[in-house]
Structure 1
C-alpha cells in the first residue's frame, strides 16, 4: 500500500501526516502540496519543533507539488481539507479510480471536517493532536 498525504503548501500538515504515519506503520508514504510555492523546502520550522517535542523527526522531507501522475503512483490519496480535495480531483486523469479521502474521515469522533492549517492558526500542537488521531484511524482502516 502506498499513501500520499496532500495539503496546500506541503510544509505543515501533509509532511506532518507523512512523518507521523510512517512512525505508526510500515506503509510506503509521501506528501505533496497542491501549490508549488515551497517546492524543495523542508517542513516549516515551528511545525518541525512541535513534532520533535513528540519524538517525530521529518526534517528529511522536502516539499513537492501534487501532479496527475500521483494518481497512478499511489493506492490512496489523503487531503487535509475540502479545498485540497477539490484541487486534487481537478487533476484526476479520465478513467482513474484511485480513492481520494479527507484525513479527518479517519477520526470521526473528533467532529472535524478538516485539519486546520497551523501555518495560519499557529496551533501546531493542536494540528498534531488531530493528525495523530487521524493517523491511528487510518492505520486501523487499512490494517
Structure 2
C-alpha cells in the first residue's frame, strides 16, 4: 500500500515544501512509493511557489521545488492522508484543533530525528534566514521517516 503523507508548516513556502521535495527524492532513491504533498496552516501564500531563497538552497542540494505551490491544509486532508507531519509545536497544535475523530495520524517531523538530537522543531528559515540549517534538519528527519516506514 502506498503511504500518503502530508507535510505541514505555517505558510507552506519553506519547510513543508522542502520536506516534500527531500522525501520525494530520498524515497525514489530507496525505491519507496509514496504519495506526498505539503500545506500550510495559513493560506497567505496559496498558489505561490516556495520562497526563492529556500528553492535556491534546496536546488544546490539536488532538490527541485519549483513545481510546488502553496496551499492551506483542510479538514479533508485528515481523510486523504495516512500521516500528517508538522514542522513545529504551533503547527501541531493548529492541526490538532482541526483533526476530526478517526483522521490521519499527526506527528512532528522531529519525531523522526535521531534519538538524543534534542530537536523539537524544524526551524523556520523565513525568520532565521538559515536555509541550509533547515535543510540539514529536513534531510535527517526525512531519512528517519523513511527508515520508520520500512520497519
Instruction: Give the TM-score band, short-chain normalised.
Output: over 0.9
Partners of 1:97 and 1:53 in 2: CA distance: 36
Unaligned runs of 5+ in 2: 28-32
Partner of 1:21: 23
Displacement over 3 Å in runs of 4+:
none
Count of residues paired in the alignment: 142
Partners of 2:121 and 2:114 in 1: CA distance: 11
After superposition, the CA RMSD in angstroms is: 0.8
Partner of 1:101: 107
- What are the within-5 Å matches in structure 2 for residues 35-114 of structure 1? 35-93=42-100, 95-109=101-115, 110-114=117-121
Partners of 1:65 and 1:111 in 2: CA distance: 29
Partner of 1:9: 11
Deviations 1:76-128 (A, max 9, x none): 000000000010111111x2242100000100342110001000000000000
Conservation of the 8 A alpha-carbon contact between 2:79 and 2:103: no
